[in-house]
Structure 1
Amino acid sequence: MESSIENTEEASALAEAVESNKFKTTGDIAFYRRQKKLLPGNSPYHALLDTLELSDCGATLQLLNEENKVSLFVELFALEDHVIRIKVNELKPMKPRYEVPDVILNELLTQRLSIVSKDGLSVTLATVDGCSQVLIIAKPFRMDVRNQGELPISVNSLGFLYFEHLRKKSQDEVNTRGSLLEGKRKRDTKTQKESEEDLGLWKEQFHEFIDTKTNGPTSIGLDFSLHGFEHVYGIPEHTENLRLKTTSQEEPYRLYNLDVFACKLYSRISVYGSVPLLLAHKPKQTMGIFWLNASETLVDISMNTENKSALGKTKKLKTDVEVLPRTDVRWMSESGIIDTYILMGPSPFDVFNQYSKLTGPQAFPPLFALGHHQCRYSYKDENDVKQVDAGFDVNDIPYDAIWLDIDHTEGKRYFTWDRTKFPSPREMQEHLRAKDRKLVVISDPHIKVDKKYPFYCEAKSKNYFVMDKNGEVYRGSCWPGVSAYLDFTNPIVRNWYANKHRLDQYEDSTDILFMWNDMNEPTVFDGPELTMHKQALHIGGWEHREVHNLYGFYQQWATAEGLIRRSGGIERPFVLTRSFFAGSQRYGAVWTGDNVAEWSYLKISIPMLLNLSITGISFCGADVGGFVQNPEPELLVRWYQAAAYQPFFRNHSHTETERREPWLFGEDNTRIIRETIRERYALLPFWYTLFYMAHIKAEPIIRPLWVEFPEEVNTFAVDDEYMIGEALLIHPVSEAGVTEVNVFLPGMGELWYHLRTLQRFDGEQTLRVSVTLDSVPVYQRGGTIIPRKTQVLRSTKAMEMVSYILYVALNFENSAKGNLFLDDGHSFNYQSKNQFLLRRFSFKDNTFSAVCADERGQYCTDCVVERVLVMGAVRPTCVTAHCPDGQVNPVYFTYNVKKSLLNIEGLQFNLGCDWMLKLHY
């Protein structure tokens, strides 16, 4: 946390100063400098086709670097659901190289490969089903991966395969400098004379920090050419647009988890988390590249064109040279092995499912977590908490959880309470429980070095901390002062830490207390780039450089496991984390970190959250209003309106900002914020159902337009509006003082209905929409059905028995469909005891029906559907209800001719029953 910033100019200046003074540019990263010396072509790697061996699991072969004579071992796997895995390691490494554990949740079944053709120059392998073929070219080594006869991707076609083998320093001192850079291979002649020290082979320096590399240079790299693709996305987290840009003349995208306060916008600098998954999309195909490596990683992207005939296509005429776009993606990591998964799609949802099967689904959160959260660094004492809580009731604003930052602890010692400020924490929690609300508290990975702190003493006595290069407990500065850092890569430490969340271990905690993991990049105030030294040591002797991007992933895992154990495995946890990696979606939510109260940060939050969502982390959000600075009332209102339509919804502000409770900005603004939050709560059945679908089907909750409209090129770069599920389109207002915005409604043959006015519009057009401060454009897609609550109360728990209304938006075929998931909202009983309902609603042939969508579901509820609202309907003469007991009764309805709106009221259909409504003409 830094001091507050008073204006935009100061914030921008701070962001630039923070980056330039504290964080590296690529010129400071030795392994990147070494790899960037290579020019495309002339790869020294030669595939030894005679070493090719096939097994039931896949294929293996050796590569020889013809210049330094080091051999590599390649493993090729054709996995189920059209996934290709490629692993490259040294054939005979001096010692094991790090391979990322725990991220891959399921080892997918493999298909047997067979040889289709082979000669001295190449070999072609094919899967049993014949869908995929891999052409391996011997010299220089290259792989072309074909799917259904098409060539979407080539591996090492530019010749940037790079693998620094483990070696002893004495050998390098004898060898020429050229051998360290792969001998006579082409490289930039301007930098050929760099010394060994300049190349950072055995040590490198950044400011006063010297990184000594015991294992020497170990970096790896590989290039992929995506044929026909010019739109790529993903590799969060960066303050960038949705569509990734070329890095040819600029900095690459960096994946190295760092605490970058008030990060500069439109920057490729790494921030709090990393997901090394890149998605590529073109009409009729989506695919992904998942680079499984937890060390510092840089990604270069370049956009090119190529002759279509070069891909095996026949030109119609000799003069008719058809040119295709091509995107080249080059991955470079500091250490480890090459372990990459090519997700062949072909649809966006196929890619989401393929990735989810590897790294796990989005965790299904308790219902309260989807409500409105109120947080500040910090609420100062119990009375402050109670007054803020009461303020929501007085102002009739619903919320579900209040949060406490580090100042609730005793001297910033986690799992403790400041007994002066919080003398009765259990009583405070019971006060919140009585109102159906929760408490969330912070727990960071740094532990105060204090011989009177039992938590520290126990961890030290058990050797549970990260060690320095000399074998002593690694110490760094963070909020408590001198701190030690738990080694969460150690499963024994994770088990111990998880147990610390038990009610008998965490004094005065209750089962309505949930957790927030912050500063877990990890942040080290006096460390290089404000993080841990790379030569620090983890369990197994692995250096921190190998595991850095996994650190926050492991803490969130241990925390979530702790909350599950606390309830004996019954209750679903809620854990928010700032640092994350691939697979973090399994354990909870993520937010975008310390943003700024500026319009530009509101605008950039949209593509940032979309890139998180399409790379598996659906439960994501950004601090409402900006963490630092004081938002003007208009900005705060617009941020609430945007965040109410995003998965994680939390107001959070810095300790030196003015108080930001939603009733402090004047009566009119309070009214608008109240209405915005109440709309979120009315739509909670819709949100909850989307989270269930994300959990079981890996369907992103918020989606770029191209996901729902994959054939429409004009959607591919849109990132100022997005879809919520398949049913809602929102265009947040992210600029000051605007009275009109351009809203693009995609889809030839689609219908859209404005959610407030219910006015109908055709798709494939751009509307010039008038907006006032109390309006934001939201449209329901024709052909969808959305469940809502008929009444909003103070919390999600309080609304449990509130009846439902179904919004039916008809398409041109006069049909619509939708789902509703319902369970107890908090336990794992939906999973372990089938205590759930999944209902399918449909409207077709003038008949509305509600049926069971999953026969396993056995949940009982007294909740009912009270109303059905049909948009785009023709006025019927009569509507009859066909009840579960066989009775047929006429029901009351009204009809709005101007809006073509049919309102069927007075229904009392239990959610667990099958029933129908028929429209008669």
Structure 2
Amino acid sequence: MAPGRRRPLLLLLWAALCVGPGLAVDRSNFKTCEQSGFCRRQRAIPPGRSPYRALLDSLQLLPDAARIQLLNEATKVPLMLELRGLRGNITRIRITELNPPRPRFEVPDVLMDEIPAEPLEVLGRDGDTLELSLGPGGPHRLLVTGSPFRMDLLRGRRLLCSVNARGLLVFEHQRQRPHSLMDIGGWVGRAWDKISALFHRDPPQDAPQDPPSENGATNEDGATGGADEKPPDNEEEPGAWEETFKTHTDSKPYGPMSVGLDFSLPGFEHVYGIPEHAESLRLRSTQGGDPYRLYNLDVFQYELHTPMALYGSVPLLWAHGPPGTLGIFWLNAAETWVDIGSNTAGKTLLGKLLDYMQGGGETPQTDVRWMSENGVLDVFLLLGPAPHDVARQYGTLTGTQALPPLFSLGYHQSRWNYRDEEDVLAVERGFDRAAVPLDVLWLDIEHAHGKRYFTWDPTHFPHPRDMLRRLADKKRKMVSIVDPHIKVDPDYRVHNELRARGFYVKTKDGSDYEGWCWPGSTAYPDFTNPEMREWWASMFAYDQYEGSTETLFTWNDMNEPSVFSGPEVTMHKDARHRGGWEHRDLHNLYGLYVQMATAEGQIRRSGGRQRPFVLSRAFFAGSQRYGAVWTGDNAAEWGHLRISIPMCLSFALAALSFCGADVGGFFQNPDTELLVRWYQAGAFQPFFRAHAHLDTVRREPWLFGEEVAGLIRHAVRRRYALLPFWYTAFYRSHRHALPVMRPLWMEFPEDTATFAMDDQYMLDRALLVHPVTEQGARGVHVYLPGKDEVWYDVDSHQQHVAPQTLYVPVTLSSVPVFQRGGTVVPRQERPRRSTECMRGDPYTLHVALSPQGTAEGDLFLDDGESFAYDTERRFLHRRFSFANGTLTASSADPQGSFPSSSWLERVVILGAPKPSSVLLRPPGGPETPLHFQLEGPTLTLRKPGVPIGADWEIVLR
């Protein structure tokens, strides 16, 4: 704690709500599956016979879809199954109520433009099974079985995925609330008994098959179902119409409306994704424990290796193995639980038959079960077949990572909080004295006047524009926090406008929803309202956000939303949004909308010219289109350093490439070894920011002595030297949806040794990084993948042939990084204070030759801040290729044009034999001999001097 400063009262409240002894998360403040009524109900259903039957004779074959009615034989409620085969090997499965008494929430604003559908074709019917093609002449077929309902998706003769094979489809249909709780309990109890009975006994062979009602007739009690549905006097199903957790009661005016579905994945042992969890990259089986939970929550100093929900949710799961790569995207924004289990003995007859046909014995299988509180069933199967295909398919659906402004890929310095303007500028000067590059300084909640966002504390930050200009003079930027909880204060303009316009979230009774957060009594803007988002965006205009300039960017924290006084430290589920939707319908969307509106505000303030930078703690599918994310409130512990790698890899699989973790840990005080190792790891993660809690000691790099400062300086400078590589990788991610930071198996999909690795990873396709994450480490074991591939240590340039596990000795100054043979990595190696100071600096190309003596790479270059690369084609995209002893530079996209004063300073070729001469051949000019030097495996060519945007050849003879 800063000298003379008292801990804020609300911090004590937050700690009391969220943590237990030792300032670790208090799990009792967050629900388990057993405490979540719909999860408990669904999980109580054992695998078995499904109560659902597909009425195959109801098939409607439309130009872009097939529709088949489903019937719940317990309740006689009809559903509609809609199947679409989308271009690019994507299959969409939607299940909705055929005649709902009230619309169900369907997730908006996440999917991109409609993907063209392939025409479906009926290939045949064999008894109770219908066979459909998913596109003309394609390899994928879908078998739909009538009773019990299930679907099997095949590629050729291989079974890829079975849907409802375990009979766990649940669709709690809507019904009106009976007049008494006794009626409620009786009806729900009886319906549930009938459904459960179907899982435990065979129905009579001569039982009549009643068709669904054509007009969706309801019973006297308002239940949509068969004519014999009468509410008997049974005990109420707990949590069906009202649910209590601790001191909070959740009214459920529309009753139980959960949905669930199971997927069986034969041949797949490894599944990944569904961020965010503090978990290994490979997801564990949840048998015998809680499922993974997706429900955006403010969790204080989270524990590791638990399925507990954290700040963000992306319902995307990957499966990878010998069958290829498959993705399941579950488009639902309500609270969701995901069960994962392995299964080899419990396969269906079809699965065993396909095992036999494919010539193998019993193959492994992973079973995945999704359960959501509300909404419809809307699932996209991403059929790959390769990892890069699944990444592109998901990017086609939800968008790609926004191309960040170049400065945001540099180093960011933050803490809660820098005290005043002089403190900020003193820290900035300290970086210059220590010769540590810095691009951005951050301000947390204390900078605002009494936690009133869009304002500045008049005592500590009286001249914000002057402060920002002084930073800008040094080519640096600032980020200030703008949270989505608004202080209820009649003297606060932002609050008054929101209230006057009716833009706050409402309670179930129609008044403005209020809770407690950092400012005290707080209200919450309804970001689901497009008009509110328009207004919020307008607040970032320079004449609205007083003191702001074009070099001030934004951090959206606490946007789960965090409500200190709410259930599970978030908003009540029965709060109301625009259109009458309950918060339970769309909870996981809230944070995405906050970041969306903030990014739009930054774009508008510049007249549409400048790219935004917005960091968000909460996120959902599609958040990648609006900025960066981070792993939240971690701790200064070695375990938290280690977990940052699989957490960011999981983010990347969900298209959230711009991810990082608080360097040094948010809570607690790291020792110098941990701090140095965290800087080294952070320098090789996409978002690179140090951040710390207000009760931690100051930890600017120069405060620990020159030895530590030198180690940090070296790590940060390595980051800056690679900025051209980082920026190019982000451009590729933006254009082609490929993760910047990626698991090894994405590049080496057939190497089974990589499938469970998460302590090392690839950056783009060129660099393999293995951060040191063990205390006192003297060496690490690095696995070099790829049959007969060559890898080069980036420090020693020593060559290694894969596959092999290499023991790499380390000191406190080293972190193992290897360049893949066959790649070209561009660098800028002159130390500068910030990215803007590097403009016009020369480039060095590091060319690592493959065993065949070839290499390829590229460089993307633009102004680093505007949309002109897209709207005006103002960019350079250069391709570098080496073959037959010749390095060639050419345009990777001739449509781009950008004036650049940068030139080629050096070429470093790894794995080349010593030439007798080296010649530079500029187009239309005379050959020029180049000076070269060979040291061990490294050939260095000095000062070719050609413009980086020119075409040329360098020939080794």
Q: Smaller-chain TM-score range?
A: over 0.9
Structure 1 residues 166, 286: CA separation in 2 closer, same or farther (over 3 Å shift)? same
Answer with 823-832 or 145-154: which moved more: 145-154
> 1 CA distance for matches of 2:637 and 2:96?
47
Summarize the Cα distance change of 1:196–1:540 in structure 2 as closer, same or farther, 3 Å threshold: farther
Match of 2:78 in 1: 71
Q: Which residue of the partner structure matches residue 207 of structure 1?
A: 246
Paired position in structure 2 for 1:803: 842
Question: Given the superposition, is the C-alpha separation of residues 119 and 628 from structure 1 closer, same or farther in structure 2, using an over 3 Å criterion?
Answer: same
Q: Deviations over 1:575-629 (max 9, x none)?
A: 0000000000000000000000000100111100000001110000000000010
Tell me, yes or no, if structure 1 residue 913 matches structure 2 residue 925.
no
Which whole-Å deviations, capped at 9, do the CAs of 1:356-410 have from their partners, x for residues lacking one?
0000010001000000000010001000000000000011110100000011111
| 1:357 has 2:396 as partner | yes
Q: 2:191 aligns with which of 179, 182, 206?
A: 179
Counterparts of residues 99-498 of structure 1 (less than 5 Å) = 99-126=106-133, 127-170=135-178, 172=184, 175=187, 177-180=189-192, 182-186=194-198, 197=236, 199-283=238-322, 285-305=324-344, 310-311=350-351, 313=353, 322-498=361-537
1:717 equivalent in structure 2: 756
Q: What is the correspondence of 1:324-723 to structure 2 with a 5 Å cutoff? A: 324-723=363-762
CA distance in 2: counterparts of 1:361 and 1:316, whole angstroms: 41
- AA in 1 matched with 2:58: T
Task: Evaluate the alpha carbon distance shift between residue 188 and residue 43 of structure 1 in structure 2; reply closer, same or farther with a 3 A threshold.
Answer: closer
Matching residue's letter, 2:910: M
Check if 1:45 corresponds to 2:84. Answer: no
Distance 2:280 2:354 in 1: 37
Given that 2:906 and 2:944 are in contact with CA atoms closer than 8 Å, whether structure 1 keeps it comes out as yes
Whether 2:43 is the aligned partner of 1:36: answer: yes
Confirm or deny: 8 A CA contact 1:85 1:339 kept in the other structure: yes
CA contact (8 A) 2:25 2:299 kept: no
Matching residue within 67, 77, 88 for 1:60? 67
SS of structure 1 residue aligned to 2:894: coil
Q: 1:180 to 1:422 in 2, by over 3 A?
A: same
Q: Partners of 2:575 and 2:349 in 1: how far apart?
A: 52
1:790 aligns to what? 829
Q: How does 1:684-833 map to 2 (within 5 A)?
A: 684-833=723-872
> What is the deviation of 1:734?
0.6
Q: CA deviation at 1:738?
A: 1.1
| 8 Å Cα contact 2:160-2:323 kept in structure 1 | no
What TM-score does the superposition give when structure 1 sets the normalisation length?
0.96
**Deviation at residue 183 of structure 1 after TM alignment:** 3.5
Q: State the Cα distance separating 1:419 from its structure 2 match.
A: 1.0
Aligned residue type for 1:18: D
Give CA deviations for 1:802-857 in whole Å, capped at 9, x if unaligned: 10000001110011110100000100000000000110001100000000000111
* Cα offsets for 1:482-512 (capped at 9, x unmatched): 0000000000000110010011111111000
Higher alpha-carbon deviation: 35-44 or 335-344: 35-44
Q: Give the deviation of 1:660 after TM superposition.
A: 1.0
Instruction: Give 3-state SS (helix, strand or coil) of 2:648's partner.
Output: helix
Amino acid at match of 1:865: L
Is the 1:302–1:328 Cα contact (8 Å) retained in structure 2?
A: yes
CA contact (8 A) 2:324 2:385 kept: yes
Residues 244-273 of structure 1: CA deviation (Å, up to 9, x unaligned): 010111110000000001101101000000
Provide closer, same or farther for how the CA distance between residues 447 and 282 of structure 1 changes in structure 2, counting only shifts above 3 A: same
What is the CA-CA distance between 1:11 and the residue it aligns to? 9.3
Q: Are the structure 2 counterparts of residues 847 and 580 from structure 1 closer, same or farther at C-alpha, using a change threshold of 3 Å?
A: same
> How far apart, CA to CA, are the structure 2 residues paired with 1:733 and 1:349?
28
Structure 2: how far apart are the matches of 1:329 and 1:185? 23
Amino acid at match of 1:532: M
In 2: Cα distance, 1:3 partner to 1:759 partner: 52
- Shift of residue 309, structure 1, vs aligned partner: 7.6
Cα-Cα RMSD: 1.9
In 1, the alpha carbon distance for the partners of 2:68 and 2:818 equals: 54
In 2, Cα distance between the equivalents of 1:196 and 1:903?
A: 81
Cα distance in 2, alignment partners of residues 181 and 442 from structure 1: 52
Residue 148 of structure 1: how far off its partner (Å): 3.3
Query: Which runs of no fewer than 5 residues in structure 2 stay unpaired?
Result: 1-7, 13-17, 202-231
Distance 1:194 1:910 in 2: 85
1: CA distance between counterparts of 2:157 and 2:580?
46
2:88 to 81, 86, 89: 81
Deviations 1:533-581 (A, max 9, x none): 0000000000000010000000000000000001000000000000000
Q: Distance in 2 between matches of 1:182 and 1:850?
A: 71
> Structure 1: how far apart are the matches of 2:743 and 2:874?
33
Q: Are residues 892 and 798 of structure 1, via their aligned partners in 2, closer, same or farther at CA, if it must alter by over 3 Å?
A: same
Following TM superposition, by how much is the alpha carbon of 1:196 offset from its aligned partner in structure 2, in angstroms? 5.0
Query: d(CA) in 1 for partners of 2:403 and 2:506?
Result: 35
Question: Could you tell me how far apart the structure 2 residues matched to 1:740 and 1:900 are?
Answer: 23
Counterpart for residue 910 of structure 2: 871
**Which position in structure 2 is the counterpart of 1:7?**
none
Amino acid at match of 1:740: G
Q: Distance in 1 between matches of 2:282 and 2:943?
A: 48
Which one-letter code corresponds to 1:713 in the other structure?
T
Paired AA for residue 168 in structure 1: Q
Shift of 1:195: 7.2
Secondary structure of 1:824's aligned partner: coil
Q: What whole-Å deviation, never above 9, does each CA across 1:638-680 have from its counterpart, x for those lacking one?
A: 0000000000000000011000111111111100000110010
Once residues 47 and 257 of structure 2 are traced to their aligned partners in structure 1, the CA distance between those partners, rounded to angstroms, is 21
Structure 2 CA distance, aligned partners of 1:185 and 1:606? 46
Q: Structure 1: 5+ residue runs without aligned partners? A: 5-9
Judged with a 3 Å threshold, the aligned counterparts in structure 2 of structure 1 residues 571 and 17 are, in CA distance, closer, same or farther, namely closer
Report SS of the residue matched to 2:704.
Answer: coil
Secondary structure in 1 matching 2:490? coil
Structure 1 residues 507 and 869 mapped into 2: Cα distance closer, same or farther (>3 Å)? same
Are the aligned partners of 2:331 and 2:379 in contact in 1 as well (CA < 8 Å)? Answer: yes
Q: 1:188 to 1:452 in 2, by over 3 A?
A: farther
Measured in 2, the distance between the counterparts of 1:239 and 1:194 equals 45
**Following TM superposition, by how much is the alpha carbon of 1:181 offset from its aligned partner in structure 2, in angstroms?**
5.2
State the identity %.
52
TM-score (norm 2): 0.93
Write the distance in 2 (CA, Å) between the matches of 1:13 and 1:84.
48
CA distance in 2, matches of 1:485, 1:423: 27
The amino acid across from 2:499 in the alignment is K
- Cα deviation digits, residues 150-199 of structure 1 (max 9, x gap): 2100100000000001101217456361314554535699xxx9975552
| Contact 1:197/1:204, CA 8 A, preserved across alignment | no
